[in-house]
Structure 1
Amino acid sequence: MSQELSVASYNIHKGVGTDRRRDLARTVAVIAEIGADILAVQEADTRFGHRKGLLDLDKIRKELGLIAVPMEGVGDAHGWHGNLLLVRNALVQEVHQLALPGLEPRGALVSDLVIAGRPLRVVNAHLGLLKVSRKAQVRVLLEKIRDMEDRPTLLMGDLNEWRGAGVAFQTLEKHFTFAQAPASFPSRYPLLALDRMMITPHGALLNVSAHDSPLSRRASDHLPIKARLRFDPDPTGG
């Protein structure tokens, strides 16, 4: 029997909207609109100096039922290089914090979950602006995944691939099935598909779209993207 979950990815731009105001309450309101079971967030912390988390994680947990996966050694930050994973009704088994190579600090979270009774690995990544950096970052991500126990893997995030046909994507296409790529940037007049989702051949991503609302067009320079994740039928019948 197949099962479905709601999944999403959102670069919140540190809570700064297209009106240049930082309004994290507005950001949380957009997260509530999305209603995802799994949400990959990018730019969740201040970037320079002493990194600090920006979202009210207690409020998100109490009001939306979303809990941040735990991390080590991040101090007052909520994410890892700004990457934060929020999950609902999931058992978090293991979280790996990867530093990605490149001229600018970048990272990725690799989280092993059990959700809806099924194992799932979620990779939340924010890749670099330079093509050579993205190529190296994808190589590190895939090496990490190959070294881990095999399980269905969902990769989401701001991948910064402007053309969608670079070497980084050509490499990822060998391992993942890409979902259709809705335009998500810039949020007021979306033209570019910088935010992406892809899944290993253990399931499918359905109804992929940008979450386009009056609020989401103001809350960040990126629109969230969302989809339904359908697991393949469990061969054990579970």
Structure 2
Amino acid sequence: MNIIRVATYNIHKGVQGLGPARRLEIHNLGLAVESLDADVVCLQEVRHSNRLEAKRFPMWPELSQADFLAPQGYEAVYRTNAITRHGEHGNALLSRWPVLSHQHEDMSDHRLEQRGFLHVMLNVHGKMVHVLVVHLGLIKASRVRQIAQLQRFIEREIPESAPLLVAGDFNDWGKTVQQAMAREGLHSWNARQPTFPSRLPLAQLDHVFARNLTPMGLMVPQGHIWTRMSDHLPLIAEFSLPIS
């Protein structure tokens, strides 16, 4: 049996706190990502660059955050969702498996939120596995339209028989996302695992959905170190990949 261990994590751009108490957490996040021991790590709010933060924090990495966070032997894929005054940020995928190709689709619904999703194709034990890294909007009406766009992309670009993972921060406090994903044959582990806010988790905003993969388990790391690095906790899911 081939097991795929997948993690999704909104890293809050590698910085936590407000005002003078703001602190750089990207170095701790590097150790944390490695400790997840995931084959595939799906990241949201990843900074490619930020000139203001680079001036503010002497230890700001020279590498982009996706490359900085990739454990040794992993391949990093990053695509920008938002361009800001001082830099840009988006989604990233870190893979222990070879990356075959990748693309990005913009799903910005209004001018106040720049959003998108990353589509990566991986070679896992000789089988092509599709992964979508998603970060949906804060407004419910926007999310409904973004989910519909995601569904159209899946129907258009991904063969129905192909193994598919859809992971990320869906910003949904209800069951709208689960129900929409189920209509595409995508399901997650039944047990609820709250991931937000990290200090007192009340809602599971982060999900890993799968099609043509068998769910094996779901867990959220606990402990003080995780609560200080981001406003989200990471979510780890394991799946078995059919052997053909």
Q: 1:94 aligns with which of 91, 98, 101?
A: 101
Q: What is the rounded CA distance, in whole Å, between the counterparts of 1:56 and 1:211 in structure 2?
A: 21
Contact 2:165 / 2:209 at 8 angstroms: preserved in 1? yes
Partner of 2:236: 226
Q: 5+ residue gaps in structure 2? A: 55-62
Alpha-carbon offset, residue 190 of structure 1: 1.0
Partner of 2:171: 160
Contact 2:136 / 2:169 at 8 angstroms: preserved in 1? yes
The aligned length equals 223
| 1:166-205 paired onto structure 2 within 5 Å | 166=176, 168-175=177-184, 176-180=186-190, 181-200=192-211, 202-205=212-215
Q: What is the rounded CA distance, in whole Å, between the counterparts of 2:152 and 2:5 in structure 1?
A: 27
Q: What is the rounded CA distance, in whole Å, between the counterparts of 1:225 and 1:42 in structure 2?
A: 12
Higher-strand-fraction structure: 2
Q: 5+ residue gaps in structure 1? A: none
Deviations 1:3-28 (A, max 9, x none): 10211000000112357412210111
SS at match of 2:24: coil
Q: What is the rounded CA distance, in whole Å, between the counterparts of 2:231 and 2:30 in structure 1?
A: 15
Q: 1:210 aligns with which of 211, 215, 220?
A: 220
**For residue 5 of structure 1, what is the amino acid of its counterpart?**
I
SS at match of 1:133: helix
Partner of 2:5: 6
Deviations 1:86-130 (A, max 9, x none): 101x22222120100312110000111112222100000000111
Contact 2:217 / 2:239 at 8 angstroms: preserved in 1? no
Tell me whether 115-124 or 205-214 shows the greater mean CA deviation.
205-214
Q: What is the rounded CA distance, in whole Å, between the counterparts of 1:229 and 1:21 in structure 2?
A: 35
Alpha-carbon offset, residue 74 of structure 1: 9.6
Contact 2:9 / 2:234 at 8 angstroms: preserved in 1? yes
Alpha-carbon offset, residue 68 of structure 1: 0.7
Q: What is the rounded CA distance, in whole Å, between the counterparts of 1:69 and 1:206 in structure 2?
A: 26
Deviations 1:130-177 (A, max 9, x none): 1111111111111112112411110000000112x22x4422111111
Q: 1:138 aligns with which of 135, 147, 163?
A: 147
Q: What is the rounded CA distance, in whole Å, between the counterparts of 1:93 and 1:51 in structure 2?
A: 33
Alpha-carbon offset, residue 231 of structure 1: 1.1
Q: What is the rounded CA distance, in whole Å, between the counterparts of 2:81 and 2:173 in structure 1?
A: 33
Percentage of identical aligned residues: 29
| TM superposition score normalised by structure 1 | 0.83
SS at match of 2:103: strand
Q: What is the rounded CA distance, in whole Å, between the counterparts of 1:26 and 1:9 in structure 2?
A: 17
Partner of 2:115: 106
199 and 191 in structure 1: CA distance in 2 versus 1, 3 angstrom threshold: same
Tell me whether 145-154 or 127-136 shows the greater mean CA deviation.
145-154
**For residue 36 of structure 2, what is the amino acid of its counterpart?**
I
Alpha-carbon offset, residue 54 of structure 1: 4.9
191 and 48 in structure 1: CA distance in 2 versus 1, 3 angstrom threshold: same
144 and 14 in structure 1: CA distance in 2 versus 1, 3 angstrom threshold: same
Query: Pairwise CA RMSD of aligned residues?
Result: 2.8
**For residue 90 of structure 2, what is the amino acid of its counterpart?**
G
